[in-house]
Homo-oligomer: A and B are copies of this chain.
Amino acid sequence: MEISLKYLPGGRAATGRNRMAQSDLDLKEMALKEDLKFYFMNPCEKYRARRQIPWKLALQILKILMVTTQLIFFGLSNQLVVSFKEENTIAFKHLFLKGYSGVDEDDYSCSIYTQQDAYDSIFYVINQYRQLKNISLGTLGYEHEGSGLKICKQQYKKGAMLPSNDTLNIDVSTETECIFLKPQELAGKKAELKLNSSFFNLEFYRLIQVEISFKLKGIALQTIHARELPDCYAFQNTITFNNGAHSGKIKIYLDSDTDIQECKDWHVFSSVLQKNTQYILVFDGFVILSCFASLILCTRSIVLALRLQKRFVNYFLEKYKRHVCHADRLEFINGWYVLVIISDVMTIIGSILKMEIKAKNLTSYDVCSILLGTSTLFVWVGVIRYLGYFQTYNVLILTMQASLPKVLRFCCCAGMIYLGYTFCGWIVLGPYHEKKYQQSGFPVTDLHEFLKDHGNVGYRKEQTSMPFICCCRRQQSDDNLILIN
């Protein structure tokens, strides 16, 4: 950051002329200059100048350590939850989908091509569900309030197909028929009767989809290791046999919606189990405290800066009868402080959420992840500011600052071409070679690099005169059509 000479009152020549009249103004000016100088100093210089110990810097370093530690602990416990959900979904696929290969085919799990396979797959689900407790390795149970197994088929209404002359009688409106198998009656005669009913006589030419859904409950015992109460889960599984396209291929989807619930259904008795999370809660408390301190210090700095700004504006108006332009006023508001404030607020909210989750009052892992993650990103990025105080890094950061608008402008222009290209490619090439197109993307790199190379050329000039305070900046009319008489 450089303040150009031309700004502040003009050299010795000017001061030599009317020194007497301006003696009191000079004093005020002196103080302002001193304050400005001090304001734009970095911590080291401030320490040298006024022996001011850099509390904010120390606090930021402490915060980095604490916030990162907190994030890692939260991430690890979060990962346990996610992997439990994922492994259960995979286990369901292996248990309920006949001929599941272990890898999903596309967005669906597997696909079938013959009528026999369709019947087999449907009854396989029912049978596996029936004997689930003897098969499954997990701690699963039927959900009692639920309606057990629900099988629905959706088809076109009043359809008929006469094979003699290939007449197809289709009604546009669809109807949905459902059948229920309660867990209690699964092995009984009633179930047998239902399974032999005409419901399972599928007419594939008008069948749109068969949907088998059931609710299971499970319990994640892993948290017992940490002497915490276990989380209970409700799995809402939906197996869909999608024949919507009538293309001879039925795609089978297994969708497992997992919710973390309080352990109401499972009655967990345990001899020594107790809440053992005090230490982590205390640590979270410290994080909140340090963020609060940092928040206050930064807010104070911004308030002081605004006051200094006001003084400078007044002085400028008094002396030169001109208003300080908007860009120069903005220089007084330190963007880094704003970043730290945002980061602090996010950390505080995130930490409170985290404490609630630990106390089993909340289960919103996602919101908490985003808050803590973003704040940690900001804290780490904030360190770059302190690197900026070392001179060699300073150039780096100034360069980045200066080139940002150029990069944005270029992105806007390239984005235009890219959008046109995307639409054109999608319609002309896309549907025919769906997968290849997705892989190739747009050869933007070449063009990108080429233009960036050029951008640097023009950039070198500006770099020498990084403008700091210039009121009447106007774009040089270097590219205009000049037709002077």
Contact = CB atoms under 8 A, between A and B. Distances in A.
Contacts of A432: 82
Contacts of A383: 416
A49 interface: no
A1 B482 CA distance: 9
Given A424-B377, A427-B71, A219 B41 contact: no
Given A156-B224, A456-B453, A269 B168 contact: yes
Interface in A143-160: 144, 156, 158
A248 B451 CA distance: 55
Contacts of A427: 71, 74-75, 78, 369, 372-373, 376
Interface string A124-137: 00000000011111
B417 A384 contact: yes
A330 to B, nearest CB: 17
Given A247-B87, A271-B172, A396 B410 contact: yes
Given A205-B139, A413-B384, A481 B91 contact: no
Interface string A36-53: 110011000000000000
A165 interface: yes
Interface string A449-485: 0111110111010010000000000010111111111
Interface string A76-111: 001101111001101110110000001001000000
Interface in A347-392: 369-370, 372-374, 376-381, 383-384, 387, 391-392
Interface in A199-230: 204-205, 217-222, 224-225, 227, 230
A166 B138 contact: no
Contact of A479 (B133, B140, B248, B394): B394
Nearest to A460: B457
A438 interface: no
A163 interface: yes
Nearest to A15: B485
Given A90-B249, A115-B137, A428-B370, A5 B416 contact: no
A63 to B, nearest CB: 13
A102 to B, nearest CB: 8
A177 interface: no
B33 A483 contact: yes
Nearest to A384: B416
The residue among A81, A222, A245 with the most chain B CB atoms within 10 A of its own CB is A245
Interface stretch (A190-198, A260-268, A280-288, A305-313): A260-268
Given A82-B432, A457-B463, A245 B269 contact: no
Contacts of A398: 479
Contact of A114 (B135, B156, B168): B135
Interface in A412-440: 412-413, 416-417, 419-421, 423-428, 430-432
A243 interface: yes
A411 to B, nearest CB: 11
A273 interface: yes
Tell me how many chains of this kind the complex includes.
4
A39 B478 CA distance: 19
A395 B112 contact: no
A82 B431 CA distance: 6
Contacts of A484: 5, 11
Contacts of A40: 481
A94 B83 CA distance: 28
Nearest to A243: B137
A34 to B, nearest CB: 9
Contacts of A454: 395-396, 399, 403, 456
A248 B1 contact: no
Contacts of A335: none
A441 interface: no
A249 B394 contact: no
A68 interface: yes
Nearest to A427: B373
18 contacts: A72-B423, A82-B431, A83-B431, A90-B249, A91-B247, A114-B135, A140-B248, A166-B217, A167-B269, A170-B273, A171-B270, A172-B270, A220-B247, A222-B246, A369-B428, A380-B417, A383-B416, A457-B460
Given A171-B270, A380-B423, 19 more contacts: A75-B427, A82-B431, A83-B245, A83-B247, A91-B247, A92-B248, A113-B136, A118-B137, A137-B248, A137-B249, A139-B246, A167-B269, A168-B266, A168-B268, A170-B221, A173-B272, A379-B420, A384-B416, A403-B454
